[in-house]
Structure 1
Amino acid sequence: MHGVGGLDYSSGIWQFEGFGFAPNGTSGVTISQIHGAAEEATTIILRIYNGDIRYYSGDVVATGLYDKWFRLNLIHDVGGGTVTVYINGVEKYSTKDRGQGSDLYFKCGVYAAPKDTSYHMESRWRDIKIYKK
């Protein structure tokens, strides 16, 4: 099983929805991603750094998310080549994807990042849903 619910996709418009929680002290780690792309391993990675969610380790997507449940929606329009991120129903970030992959899938949890990863790594997820348009 690859992605959440074993759903891999390569076309269409797909959406991940889940409620996430990252406790204070977890920093520099990936909490959600779309795995797969044309030339890269991932289409998007969301990492938490000191309570802020970032696109990979760069652009800030949302701030002040330690120790509270938040709703994350990732919408991937494969044909349009875009990924849009919503936090608690508000659009926070949009970017071009990294090319159409043949086995795209959503992942959530906690994964070590390349550098500056905290010793404690934790995220919790509930009420996960996958939608296809």
Structure 2
Amino acid sequence: MGVHRMWVYADDKPHEPTSFTQPRTEIRIMWLDYTSGVWQFEGYGFVPNGTSAATIAQIHGAEHHSSTVILRMYNGDLRYYGGNLVAQNLYDKWFRLNIIHDVDGGTVTVFIDGEQKFHTKDRGPGVFNFKCGVYAALSNISYYMESRWRDIKIYTIL
């Protein structure tokens, strides 16, 4: 399928006129909502230098939250939401991202290039799906934000 190149500008409008969200361009596997089992996202991502405060991957959904995991790029470093460091120095190179969500066990594990980088509890039950792309954070965003994705796969053990 080639490379999916997604970008937004800080002054772009939300995806709907009635939405209060930040600008975004993202891929969601439409047919793939899940509520149990073990699910894995795999994709090769690339974030150009200068993209900052942009969500590049997420697990959307949770009982009392809009998301279970947000992986956000800040100055070349990947962070869980805006806090815990997941990986460093990811600008301008392809990296393999794997996110494993064990719904029944209530955990999420993140791998970069085959190495476990982060593990956390999820944010409770819900209807979940994986997304990747570029989605501006609420503050301190770069004017231009971009991510590229290729070889996206979803795996499951039911």
Matching of residue 47 in structure 1 with residue 72 in structure 2: yes
Could you list the runs of 4 or more consecutive aligned residues of structure 1 that deviate by over 4 angstroms after TM superposition? none
Unmatched tracts of structure 1, length 5 or more: none
Q: Which residue of the partner structure matches residue 98 of structure 1?
A: 123
Q: Per-residue CA shift, 1:14-51, capped at 9, x if unaligned?
A: 00000000000000010000000010000000000000
Could you tell me which of 45, 50, 54 is aligned with 1:20? 45
Q: Which residue of the partner structure matches residue 85 of structure 1?
A: 110
Q: Which residue of the partner structure matches residue 114 of structure 1?
A: 138
In the TM superposition, residue 4 of structure 1 has moved relative to its aligned partner by 2.0
Tell which structure's C-alpha radius of gyration is larger: 2
Q: Give, in whole Å, the separation in 2 of the partners of 1:58 and 1:67.
A: 22
Q: Give, in whole Å, the separation in 2 of the partners of 1:80 and 1:37.
A: 14
TM-score between both structures, scaled by the size of structure 2: 0.81
Taking every aligned residue pair, what percent have the same amino acid on both sides? 66
In the TM superposition, residue 86 of structure 1 has moved relative to its aligned partner by 0.1
The amino acid that maps onto 2:97 is: L
In the TM superposition, residue 5 of structure 1 has moved relative to its aligned partner by 5.1
In the TM superposition, residue 6 of structure 1 has moved relative to its aligned partner by 2.5
Unmatched tracts of structure 2, length 5 or more: 1-26
Q: CA RMSD in A?
A: 1.0
Aligned residues: 131
Q: Which residue of the partner structure matches residue 125 of structure 1?
A: 149
Q: Per-residue CA shift, 1:96-128, capped at 9, x if unaligned?
A: 000010x20000000011111110110000000
